[in-house]
């Protein structure tokens, strides 16, 4: 909440509480990441990178909503794979900060 509004996070996570409803583009817009600087986006990335490997792997993506709030649900395998495919630009099976 140092970078994003708690109210925006609550609304965004709530909007995708139903199974198979997650839309990463709408979610990141709703939490306010689209308006943030690249530096702030990288700060959020590092929070979501739970093992601090410099990458967000598929297993970490499953819990991306919980990275924003403990009340978030786990993504389904289908939702996780769609998010990974969108962010994995070099096909290595993980998402880098860039």
Every domain of the chain and the residues it spans: 6-89
| Domain 6-89 -> CATH class | mainly alpha
Q: Confidence class of residue 98 from pLDDT cuts 50, 70 and 90?
A: confident
Is 20 annotated to bind ligand?
no
Cβ neighbours for 86, distance < 8 A, ≥ 6 positions apart: 24
Burial class (CB in 10 A: 0-12, 13-18, 19+), 39: exposed
| 8 annotated as a binding-site residue | no
49 is in an annotated binding site: yes
- Which pTM value belongs to this model? 0.90
Is 98 annotated in some ligand binding site? no
For range 83-90, the mean pLDDT: 94
Q: Is residue 53 annotated as involved in ligand binding?
A: yes
Tens digits of residue pLDDT in 36-76: 999 999 999 999 999 999 999 999 999 999 999 999 999 99
């Amino acid at each position: 909440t140092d970078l994003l509004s708690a109210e925006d996070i609550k609304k965004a996570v709530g909007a995708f509480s139903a199974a198979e409803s997650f839309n990463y583009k709408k979610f990141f817009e709703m939490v306010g990441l689209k308006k943030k600087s690249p530096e702030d986006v990288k700060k959020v990335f590092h929070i979501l990178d739970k093992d601090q490997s410099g990458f967000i792997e598929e297993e970490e993506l499953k819990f991306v909503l919980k990275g924003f709030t403990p009340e978030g649900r786990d993504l389904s395998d289908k939702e996780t794979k769609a998010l990974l495919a969108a962010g994995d630009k070099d096909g290595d099976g993980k998402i880098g900060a860039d």
